């Protein structure tokens, strides 16, 4: 097609009609356009060929680098095949990353070495059959194999990847390396680490580190979780003292580290023991996390902002399994006082809170370490602007940057994932509310004529709880009260869709919760 157009154009340029002295303007313009199209097409083809040549040359160099690195690794003793930050423990570790420059082009050579469990001599002690089928290579074991392989580190898998400056993979080689001696019973142990989000969905690409300074050699191993959210560590030195520390991290997620027991208190995520010829297991939960977590709004009981309040907050990962213990990984008063101070508008912020469990303010009973100077302020109620709870506990949403939340709360031009109003008082005897159950009632659910409402808090002995909606007033019947709870039945049969305001009254006064943002029972269709 191009040749035909070019021939035609040249023909038009050389042929003159009878009586014509030259080209018309239209002919000249058309000729220039056609020639331009041809030149651009050939220029694009030339650029594409040059680019392909460059990539091909770089791939060739990368292939040579990968092969050279692999041959070097194969020349080393079997026990020396372990890299820094990898899952294999060794006294001396090889670098996992090397930078090479060839013809003024930078290449990164990445080496990964891990153990493999092969079914030819049985499988290791996996937590369940699906896990065994995934990670015991060539499953099922052949007939006559041991029920459990006491040394599941059968051989090593070596992988070398070469990338360019942009991170693009140019070459990859891998191989399997076996020891030259026959397998014997192992004196080491194994560790299986699974990383999930709060809902239990496996998280791939999380970094898992395993350390233990009490063993010989000391352990400082690491690995990335696979598509099943799992990392496996074989060949770990035994330690019966529960000194193995496991940490799970991933960019954009919360991080979690195991801790030791505290007397009789057992950790939710404990340090582990690793026993000879046995496997230990742990599941670590991390969640997608935004850096700007909660916007605090401190007010008095009338809603006026309170400046200069130092706000005590704790929550997130619970340290210990005992339900009555409320020690958390996040605590901004102990062991280090990092409480934020509210500004003239009564606002302050909390950053980088894991979206795990909930958050508590001013102590367990709302009576600790929320202060202006030396004056203690008691938390009458914590009312979230977002989420499903009407009153505390306060939760922080998970943050997915690819699908950001539609509602955020601005503070000095920064969007926060959650906002909470902290209603504070200096009167220690005022009623304080920690929870309201249920937080909503349905007009279509039935039973509105006898709805049981339970309010938990402090200073509630002999207190009354009244709901109002427009001109409708709802007082409880059959009430039972204690210092920490009010339980009453209500007839909400005349309620309509919308908020019902809650007022709690005791001998010291009345606590009236706002209906905006929330602060009562939400009546839904």
The residues facing 314 across adjacent strands are: 331, 360
d(CA 289, CA 271): 24
Provide the residue-wise pLDDT of the chain in tens; the chain has 525 residues: 444 544 555 455 455 544 455 667 777 787 777 777 877 766 666 676 666 777 888 899 999 999 999 999 999 999 899 999 999 998 899 999 999 999 889 999 999 999 999 999 899 999 899 999 999 999 999 998 888 888 899 999 999 999 998 899 999 999 999 886 655 567 889 999 999 999 999 999 999 999 999 998 899 999 999 999 999 999 999 999 999 999 999 999 999 999 999 999 999 999 999 999 889 999 999 999 999 999 999 999 999 999 999 999 999 999 999 999 999 999 999 999 999 999 999 999 999 999 999 999 999 999 999 999 999 999 999 999 987 777 878 999 999 999 999 899 999 999 999 999 999 999 999 999 999 988 888 888 777 889 999 999 999 999 999 999 989 999 999 999 999 999 999 999 999 988 889 999 999 999 999 876 666 788 887
Please say whether the beta carbons of 192 and 232 come within 8 A: yes
Asked whether the CA dihedral 400, 404, 407, 413 is positive or negative, the reply is positive
pLDDT in the model for residue 49: 61
| The overall pTM is greater than 0.85 | no
The DSSP bridge pattern shows strands 272-274 and 239-249 to be antiparallel
Report whether CATH 2.60.40 matches the domain 290-428.
yes
> Where are the domains positioned within the chain?
78-285, 290-428, 429-525
Fold of 78-285: Immunoglobulin-like (2.60.40)
Cα three-residue angle 223-219-189, rounded to 5 degrees: 80
Q: Check for a shared fold between 78-285 and 290-428.
A: yes
Tokens standing for 171? 């070459």
In the CATH scheme, what is the code of domain 429-525?
A: 2.60.40.10
């Amino acid at each position: 097609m191009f040749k035909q157009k070019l021939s035609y154009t040249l023909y038009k340029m050389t042929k003159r009609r009878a009586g014509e002295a030259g080209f018309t303007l239209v002919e000249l313009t058309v000729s220039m356009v056609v020639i331009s199209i041809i030149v651009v097409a050939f220029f694009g083809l030339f650029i594409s060929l040059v680019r392909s040549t460059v990539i091909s040359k770089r791939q060739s160099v990368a292939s040579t680098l990968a092969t050279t690195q692999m041959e070097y690794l194969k020349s080393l003793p079997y026990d020396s095949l372990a890299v820094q930050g990898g899952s294999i423990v060794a006294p001396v570790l090889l670098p996992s990353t090397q930078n090479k420059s060839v013809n003024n082009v930078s290449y990164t050579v990445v080496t990964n070495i891990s153990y493999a469990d092969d079914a030819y001599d049985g499988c290791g002690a996996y937590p369940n059959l699906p896990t065994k089928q995934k990670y015991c290579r060539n499953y099922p074991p052949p007939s006559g194999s041991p029920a459990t392989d006491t040394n599941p580190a059968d051989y090593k898998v070596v992988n070398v990847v070469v990338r360019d400056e942009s991170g693009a993979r140019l070459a990859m080689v891998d191989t399997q390396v076996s020891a030259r001696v026959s397998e014997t019973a192992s004196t080491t142990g194994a560790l299986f680490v699974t990383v999930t989000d709060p809902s239990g969905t496996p998280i791939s690409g999380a970094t898992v580190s395993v350390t233990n300074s009490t063993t010989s050699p000391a352990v400082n191993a690491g690995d990335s979780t696979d598509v099943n959210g799992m990392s496996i560590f074989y060949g770990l030195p035994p330690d019966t003292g529960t000194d193995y520390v496991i940490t799970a991290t991933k960019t954009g997620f919360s991080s979690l580290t195991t801790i030791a027991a505290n007397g009789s208190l057992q950790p939710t995520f404990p340090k582990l023991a690793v026993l000879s010829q046995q496997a230990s297991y742990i599941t670590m939960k991390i969640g997608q996390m935004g850096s700007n977590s909660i916007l605090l709004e401190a007010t008095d009981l009338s809603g006026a902002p309170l400046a200069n309040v130092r706000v005590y907050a704790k929550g997130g990962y619970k340290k210990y399994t005992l339900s009555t213990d409320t020690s958390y990984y996040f605590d901004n008063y102990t062991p280090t006082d990092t409480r934020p101070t509210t500004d003239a508008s009564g606002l302050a912020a909390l950053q980088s809170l894991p979206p795990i469990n909930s958050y508590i303010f001013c102590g367990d009973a709302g009576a600790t370490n929320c202060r202006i100077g030396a004056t203690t302020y008691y938390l009458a109620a914590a009312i979230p602007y977002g989420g499903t709870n009407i009153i505390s506990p306060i939760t922080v949403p998970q943050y997915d940057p690819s699908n950001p939340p539609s509602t955020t709360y601005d503070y000095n031009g920064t969007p926060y994932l959650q906002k909470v109003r902290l209603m504070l008082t200096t009167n220690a005897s005022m009623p304080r509310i920690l929870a309201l159950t249920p937080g909503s009632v349905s007009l279509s659910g039935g039973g509105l004529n006898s709805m049981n409402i339970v309010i938990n808090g402090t200073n509630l002995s002999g207190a009354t709880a009244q709901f109002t909606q427009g001109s409708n007033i709802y007082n409880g019947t059959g009430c039972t009260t204690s210092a920490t709870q009010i339980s009453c039945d209500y007839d909400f049969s005349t309620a309509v869709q919308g908020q019902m305001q809650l007022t709690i009254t005791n001998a010291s006064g009345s606590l009236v919760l706002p209906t905006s943002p929330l602060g009562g029972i939400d009546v839904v269709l």
